[in-house]
Structure 1
Amino acid sequence: MNKGNVKNKYANAISQEEALRKVRDYAKYAVLTAIGIYLIWHLISIQAMSPSTNSVPPPPSGFRW
């Protein structure tokens, strides 16, 4: 192989700095998606653990306001 072929082969290559910038851009979206999924799942699980309004016992019979 001569040097001309090697240069043409890597003509479309990007620099390490540009590659890291692209990774950071996509990582932001991945983190935001993960946080959103976690919050939604966490809220649903908290709601599932809360008692329903029908299961609240009535106040004792001697209770006065």
Structure 2
Amino acid sequence: MATSPFKFVNEVRNEISKVVWPTRREVMLTTVMVFVMAALTAVFFALVDLVIQFGLRGILGAF
């Protein structure tokens, strides 16, 4: 079942009009939250890496 191009364009316009776009404040807030979470994750994995490194040096240093 083929649809005419005009009907398709009208349906697309109707669907796009239903989209709720975020405000500038919402975009800025979520962007800051993403950067904060990325920084916290980086710090966490750096600390885990240091703990593992310290443990391995202790174990391997005993030999």
TM-score range, shorter chain: 0.5 to 0.7
Q: State the alpha-carbon separation in 2 of the partners of residues 10 and 23 from structure 1.
A: 24
Structure 1 residue ranges, 4+ long, deviating more than 6 angstroms after superposition: none
Deviation at 1:10, TM superposition (A): 7.2
Out of 25, 32, 35, which is 2:33 matched to? 25
**Equivalences, count:** 48
Equivalent residue for 1:47?
55
> Secondary structure of the residue that 1:14 maps to in structure 2?
coil
Question: Unaligned stretches of 5+ in structure 1?
Answer: 56-65
Computing the radius of gyration over CA atoms, which structure comes out larger, 1 or 2? 1
Partner letter of residue 22 of structure 1?
T
SS at match of 2:20: coil
Q: CA deviation at 1:36?
A: 0.7
Which residue does 1:9 correspond to in 2?
17
TM-score (normalised: structure 1): 0.52
Tell me how far apart the structure 1 counterparts of residues 57 and 50 of structure 2 sit (CA, whole Å): 11
Between the two proteins, what is the percent identity of the paired residues? 15
Would you say 1:36 and 2:44 are equivalent positions?
yes
> How much does 1:19 deviate?
0.1
Structure (1 or 2) with the greater helix fraction:
2
